[in-house]
Amino acid sequence: MSIEYANLCSVVVKQVFGETVQIVADCLFCAVSRTLPAILKKTNLSRKEVSTALAVLIKYQLVVFAPCATNPFLAEYSLKREEIFYILRYPSYVQLIHSKYGPVGAAIAEELLHTGPQTATNVLLKCIANSEIKEKIETYRENFLAMVSDNYLIRLPQLISAEEDPVPKLQTDAYQYFAPPDINLHFISEVQAGKEKVEKAADAGIYWHANFSRFHQDFRDTVMIGAIERKLGTSASECFKYILKQMYERTDPWQKDCSNPFTFAEIKQTIEKKSNNLDLIKHLDQYVSLIADDPLRFIRKIGEMGGGQYVVDLNHAFEELTLSWFGSVITERYGSKASRIFRIIHMKKYIEQEELQKEAMIPAREAKLLSYYLFQDQFIQIKTIRKAGGGGTGPAKAFFLFHFKPRQSVRMILNICYKALYNTIERSNFEKSEHKRLIEKSQKLDSIVATMKERGESAEYIEEILETLTPPEREILEKVKTRIKTLSKAELTIDDSIFLLQMYLHHSKVETSLTTKDKK
Q: What is the pLDDT of residues 335-360, one digit of tens each?
A: 888 888 888 888 888 888 888 888 88
**What's the confidence (pLDDT) of residue 98?**
93
**What's the confidence (pLDDT) of residue 520?**
35
Instruction: Indicate whether 193 and 221 sit together in one domain.
Output: no
- The number of distinct structural domains making up the chain is 5
Task: Indicate whether 455 belongs to any domain.
Answer: no
Instruction: Indicate whether 300 and 344 sit together in one domain.
Output: no
Q: Which CATH number fits the domain that encloses residue 379?
A: 1.10.10.10
- Summarised one tens digit per residue, pLDDT across range 387-431 is 765 555 555 677 788 888 888 889 989 999 999 999 999 999 998
Please state whether the predicted TM-score (pTM) of the whole model is above 0.85. yes
For residues 247 and 262, the answer to whether their CB atoms sit within 8 Å is yes
Checking if the pLDDT of 518 tops 50, the result is no
Instruction: Indicate whether 178 and 200 sit together in one domain.
Output: yes
Task: Indicate whether 513 belongs to any domain.
Answer: no
Higher pLDDT, 293 or 390: 293
Contacts of 170 (CB under 8 A, 6+ apart): 157, 158, 159, 160
Instruction: Indicate whether 181 and 135 sit together in one domain.
Output: yes
Higher pLDDT, 186 or 62: 62
Q: Which of 210, 245, 268 finishes a domain?
A: 210
Q: Which of 177, 210, 243 finishes a domain?
A: 210
Q: Which of 79, 110, 129 finishes a domain?
A: 79
Task: Indicate whether 321 belongs to any domain.
Answer: no
Instruction: Indicate whether 175 and 258 sit together in one domain.
Output: no
Task: Indicate whether 129 belongs to any domain.
Answer: yes
**What's the confidence (pLDDT) of residue 490?**
92
| Residue ranges making up the domain that contains 368 | 329-388+397-404
Instruction: Indicate whether 254 and 281 sit together in one domain.
Output: yes
**What's the confidence (pLDDT) of residue 149?**
92
Closest CA to 49 of 60, 58, 62, 40: 40
Calculate what percentage of the chain has a pLDDT beyond 70.
Answer: 95
Instruction: Indicate whether 68 and 87 sit together in one domain.
Output: no
Helix (H, G, I), strand (E, B) or coil at 275: coil
Task: Indicate whether 322 belongs to any domain.
Answer: no
Instruction: Indicate whether 89 and 205 sit together in one domain.
Output: yes
Instruction: Indicate whether 112 and 191 sit together in one domain.
Output: yes
Task: Indicate whether 49 belongs to any domain.
Answer: yes
Instruction: Indicate whether 128 and 172 sit together in one domain.
Output: yes
For residues 301 and 286, the answer to whether their CB atoms sit within 8 Å is no
Task: Indicate whether 161 belongs to any domain.
Answer: yes
Instruction: Indicate whether 360 and 427 sit together in one domain.
Output: no
pLDDT band at 449 (very low <50, low <70, confident <90, very high): confident
Closest CA to 253 of 310, 296, 214: 214
Instruction: Indicate whether 69 and 92 sit together in one domain.
Output: no
Q: DSSP letters of 23-64?
A: HHHHHHHTSS-EEHHHHHHHH---HHHHHHHHHHHHHTTSEE
Task: Indicate whether 125 belongs to any domain.
Answer: yes
Average model confidence (pLDDT) across the chain:
86
pLDDT band at 74 (very low <50, low <70, confident <90, very high): confident
- Summarised one tens digit per residue, pLDDT across range 41-57 is 988 889 999 999 999 99
